[in-house]
């Protein structure tokens, strides 16, 4: 097989070490060597650039492109799948080569990427959002109409559950449909107009059943969790990651440290709800008010979690905000006390560890899959990073 050498640049290897001058050699889709003065059959000139591992976004919704109520009911059902193809391509162009879809994408979308039918980041999928009746994932409106972000269909079964037995059935149904991870709402949320982000949803008994079902199939659980009590219920049940974490208290942070629970902050999500409202999106007043209320509490919670040493992985909730703006999250993470190197670690090797992919992805190291991003200028200049992405490679093949 021919060897490709990425030569003349600096390398951020994903460990948190400062970028250092080095070459990277790729053969048969894998990195085979990293170091100075390497050679190969083909040279990619990286002079003046920094090489990063392929980036991760651990919380996206690729079938969601806008959050206003009217577009949801006006678009033909199948339109979401074409939007998903566009959203995946838009995300890949940022250097994000792996995503975890937190409800919406089904097995067909994942397989279309895996088979090369459409370009995009490789996917882990949750398929559905497990919610109780009246919970964050229940799209019921006072009119009696139900307008969820994602309608059930044969590849995306209904995920509402009440009680341990229904939780078991829904978990097994989603796993049968191809879920790589199960996602559950343990609190209310911002986009659900008739619940409160601080209030808990699901009992510990229900969550224990969910985690047991997931573990029997070698899967993890991620929790939409914003209020402190719902966060603590999720952690006590053994859920692997807390998504959002808006109202963390000291006990929740301590529990996360003791249990090794991950935080995926999605700091940009409430900011994007406010932006959407300002741009005329058809959102209930209660949703916009909640978004305005949570922004500062959210940032404060993440600051305290970071200072305490909670494990953090990058995620954006893209779909709530525009796909293609994902890298805005990096500067928000830095504003919460993370060093630039730690932000990139959270977006590479730490994210890979959260997703169980750290043996293959997240680092520029021999044996790892050759996902590489060539970035002009300063890789720590996060506001400029999206515009500085020169090339994106997946498994040793140039994708962008």
Pairing of strands 262-264, 30-35: unpaired
Each domain of the chain, given as residue ranges in start order, spans 3-53+361-398, 55-326
Mind listing the pLDDT tens digit for each residue in 217-235?
A: 999 999 999 999 999 999 9
393 vs 16: CA distance, rounded Å: 21
Confidence of residue 145 (pLDDT cuts 50, 70, 90): confident
pLDDT of 1 higher than 80: no
Which pLDDT value is given to residue 120? 98
What mean pLDDT comes out for the span 164-168? Answer: 98
Average pLDDT for residues 236-242, to the nearest whole number?
A: 98
Superfamily of domain 55-326: Metal-dependent hydrolases (3.20.20.140)
C-alpha pair distances (Å), 163 with each of 72, 204, 208, 220, 281: 29, 11, 11, 20, 35
State the pLDDT at residue 281. Answer: 93
How many residues make up the chain in this entry? Answer: 400
- In this predicted model, what pLDDT tens digit does every residue of 307-328 receive, in sequence order? 999 999 999 999 999 999 999 9
Among 197, 177, 180, CA closest to 188 = 197
Which residue, chain included where needed, has tokens 């005329």?
280
Average pLDDT over residues 136-151: 90
The mean pLDDT of 173-196, rounded to a whole number, is 96
Which residues have CB under 8 Å from 165's CB, separation 6+? none
Residues 5-15, mean pLDDT to the nearest whole number: 98
CA atoms of 400 and 345, how far apart (whole Å): 22
What's the pTM value of the predicted model, to 2 decimals?
0.96
The 10 Å CB-count burial string (b at 16+, else e) for 131-165 is bbeebbbbbbeeeeeeebbbeeeeebbebbbeebe
**In the structure, what pLDDT confidence band is assigned to residue 181 with cuts at 50, 70 and 90?**
very high
With a cut of 80, say whether residue 348 has pLDDT above it: yes
pLDDT tens string 298-311: 999 999 999 999 99
Q: What is the mean pLDDT of residues 133-144?
A: 92
| Residues 46 and 8 sit within 8 Å (Cβ to Cβ) | yes
Query: For 355-389, what is each residue's pLDDT tens digit?
Result: 999 999 999 999 999 999 999 989 999 999 999 99
Per-residue pLDDT at 70: 86
Distance between CA 339 and CA 347 in Å, rounded?
12
Q: Which CATH superfamily is domain 3-53+361-398 in?
A: Urease, subunit C, domain 1 (2.30.40.10)
- The DSSP secondary structure of 261-294, one letter per residue, reads -EEE--THHHHHHHHHHHTT----HHHHHHHHHH
What is the pLDDT confidence band of residue 141, given thresholds at 50, 70 and 90?
Answer: confident
Average pLDDT, rounded, for the chain: 97
* pLDDT tens track for 28-52: 999 999 999 999 999 999 999 999 9
Q: Where are the alpha helices (DSSP H) in the chain?
A: 69-74, 79-92, 107-114, 164-176, 204-216, 228-237, 250-259, 268-278, 285-308, 328-335, 340-346, 349-354, 382-388
pLDDT at position 147 is: 87
Q: Give the Cα separation of 148 and 397 in Å (integer).
A: 38
The string of pLDDT tens digits covering residues 15-28 is 999 999 999 999 99
Surface-to-core class of residue 337, CB atoms within 10 Å of its CB (0-12 exposed, 13-18 middle, 19+ buried): middle
């Amino acid at each position: 097989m021919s060897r490709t050498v990425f030569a003349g640049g600096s390398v951020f290897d994903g460990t948190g070490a400062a970028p250092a001058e080095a070459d990277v050699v790729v053969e048969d889709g894998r990195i085979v060597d990293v170091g100075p003065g390497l050679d190969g059959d083909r040279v990619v000139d990286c002079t003046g650039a920094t090489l990063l591992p392929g980036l991760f976004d651990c919380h996206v919704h690729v079938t969601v492109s806008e959050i206003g109520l009217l577009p949801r009911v006006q678009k033909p059902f199948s339109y979401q799948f074409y939007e998903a193809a566009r959203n995946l391509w838009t995300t890949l162009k940022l250097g994000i080569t792996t995503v975890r879809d937190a409800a919406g994408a089904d097995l067909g979308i994942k397989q279309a990427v895996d088979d090369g039918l459409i370009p995009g980041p490789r996917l882990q999928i949750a398929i559905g959002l497990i919610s109780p009746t009246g919970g964050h994932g229940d799209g019921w409106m006072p009119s009696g109409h139900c307008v969820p972000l994602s309608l059930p269909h044969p590849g995306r079964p209904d995920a509402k559950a009440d009680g341990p037995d229904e939780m078991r059935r829904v978990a097994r149904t989603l796993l049968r449909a191809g879920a790589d991870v199960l996602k559950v709402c343990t609190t209310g949320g911002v986009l659900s107009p008739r619940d409160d982000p601080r209030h808990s949803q699901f009992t510990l008994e229900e969550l224990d059943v969910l985690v047991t079902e997931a573990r029997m199939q070698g899967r993890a659980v991620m929790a939409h969790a914003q209020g402190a009590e719902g966060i603590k219920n999720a952690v006590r049940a053994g859920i692997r990651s807390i998504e959002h974490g808006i109202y963390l208290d000291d006990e929740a942070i301590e529990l996360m440290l003791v249990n090794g629970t991950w935080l995926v902050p999605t700091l940009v999500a409430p900011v994007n709800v406010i932006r959407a409202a300002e741009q005329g999106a058809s959102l209930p007043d209660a949703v916009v008010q909640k978004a305005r209320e949570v922004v500062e509490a959210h940032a404060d919670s993440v600051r305290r979690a970071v200072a305490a040493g909670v494990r953090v992985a990058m995620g954006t909730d893209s779909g709530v905000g525009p796909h293609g703006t994902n890298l805005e999250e990096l500067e928000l993470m830095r504003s919460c006390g993370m060093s630039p190197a730690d932000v990139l670690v959270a977006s590479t090797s730490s994210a890979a560890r959260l997703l169980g992919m750290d043996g293959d992805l997240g680092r520029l190291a021999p044996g790892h899959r050759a996902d590489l991003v060539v970035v002009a200028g300063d890789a720590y200049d996060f506001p400029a990073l999206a515009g500085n992405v020169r090339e994106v490679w997946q498994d040793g093949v140039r994708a962008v």
